[in-house]
Amino acid sequence: MSERVVAVIPARGGSKGIPGKNIKPFLGLPLVAHSIRAALAAGTVSEVVVSSDDDAILKTAEDHGATSLKRPPEIAGDEASSESALLHAIAAYQGCADADTLVMLQCTSPLTTAGEIDLVVRARAAQAADTAFSVVDVHAFLWEIAPDGSGIGVNHDASRPRQRRQDRPKQFRETGAIYALRKAGFGEAGQRFFGRSVPVVLPDAPEIDLDTPRDWIALEAYAKAAGRTPD
C-alpha cells in the first residue's frame, strides 16, 4: 500500500477495574507492548503512536518502539472517549496529521495480530470504506428485561420454536480491537463510524475483553493453552 497508515493506541493512566492495567505484565510483557509489537509488525502500518496522560506508559511505549504523545488531562479522564485521543493526535502530531488512514488499536486486546491489523486496513482500502472494523461471529440469544421483569427476545422470536444455530441469520459482535479510519473523514466527523463502514470478520480472535481481574486470568490462560505467547 502506498498510503500512510498510522496506528494510534489510546492508553490512559487511570484504570478502576485493573489498577495500572496498561503497563501491568501480561504474558511477561507490559500490556501496551503487545499492541505496539503487533502494529510494528503489520506490513500496512507506517508508524505507531501511543497517546497517554501517564509518563510511565509513555516511557514503556518508547522502550518498545512507539512514538509517545502526551495527552492533556482534560481528555484523559473516565469520561474521555478514544475518539478524543485520536483527534488530539491529529492536531498535536504531524505524523498523524499527514496520515491517510488512522488505525485505532485497544490495549485491552493484547492478542491482536499483525495479520489481523493488515486485514482490516486492506479491507477499508479495497472496499473504499470510510471505516473498517473487526468483528467476530456470535450465536448468543440476546434478551432485554421489560419493566415488569418479563424477557423480550432481541435477536430472536421467543414465541417460535428454538432455531438451530445454522438456521439463524449470521450476526457479528464488534470486538473493539481494530478500527481503520479514513483520516480526513474522521477529522470532520469526530467519531469512529461515519460514511460507509464495513465489518471485517476475524475468525481466530478471542472473545474476552480485559475489563476485570477475572478477564485477565481467563485471557492469559487461553493464550498459554493456545500457544499464543510472545517470542
Out of 71, 160, 168, 214, the active site residue is 160
Active-site residue, 37 included: no
The closest alpha carbon to 134, from 209, 226, 34, 27, belongs to 209
Cβ of 150: how many Cβ atoms within 10 Å?
9
Say if residues 49 and 6 touch (Cβ distance below 8 Å). Answer: yes
Say if residues 29 and 228 touch (Cβ distance below 8 Å). Answer: no
How many whole angstroms separate alpha carbon 205 and alpha carbon 116?
9
Q: What phi, psi does 84 have (nearest 5°)?
A: -65, -35
Burial of 90 (0-12, 13-18, 19+ CB in 10 A): buried
Positions marked active-site = 160
